[in-house]
């Protein structure tokens, strides 16, 4: 019985510890031909989702040194997510609307 209790306690402690360091998810919408945030600060390991809230296609890409990616083009209501592991600055753009631009600061 004592063993079982300490096992439960250990599991509880472990999961609460993990809860503290758990990665977060942030949202940057695409609305009125712009990103809903000009700048976002996150921690390494966090996820950012980019829901398209306009009645036309958007694209999400970056050519940044720490994270180069292309989530492709997608329609209203769709969303794509990406995880950032390396600390640094990520410049995010839309290939369809060249004026769309925002920055993500990834902290250690
Ligand atoms: Cu766009």
Task: State residue 20's pLDDT score.
Answer: 60
**What domains can you pick out in the chain, each with its CATH number?**
23-107 (2.60.40.420)
Task: State residue 63's pLDDT score.
Answer: 98
- Rounded to the nearest integer, the mean pLDDT of the chain is 91
d(CA 21, ligand 1 centre) in Å: 33
pLDDT (tens digit per residue) in 92-108 = 999 999 999 999 999 99
d(CA 60, ligand 1 centre) in Å: 8
pTM exceeding the 0.75 threshold for the entire prediction? yes
At 37, list the tokens: 């945030």
Measured between alpha carbons, how far is 97 from 59 in angstroms, rounded to an integer?
8
d(CA 32, ligand 1 centre) in Å: 9
d(CA 47, ligand 1 centre) in Å: 20
Backbone angles phi and psi of 68, in degrees to 5: -105, 125
């Amino acid at each position: 019985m004592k063993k079982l209790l300490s096992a439960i306690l250990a599991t509880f402690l472990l999961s609460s510890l993990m809860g503290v360091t758990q990665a977060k998810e942030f949202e940057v919408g695409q609305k009125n031909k712009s990103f809903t945030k000009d700048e976002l600060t996150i921690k390494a390991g966090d996820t950012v989702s980019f829901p398209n809230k306009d009645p036309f296609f958007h694209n999400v890409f970056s050519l940044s040194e720490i994270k180069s990616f292309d989530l492709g083009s997608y329609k209203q209501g769709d969303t794509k997510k990406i995880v950032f592991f390396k600390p640094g600055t990520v410049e995010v753009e839309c290939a369809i609307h060249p004026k769309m631009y925002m920055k993500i600061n990834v902290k250690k």
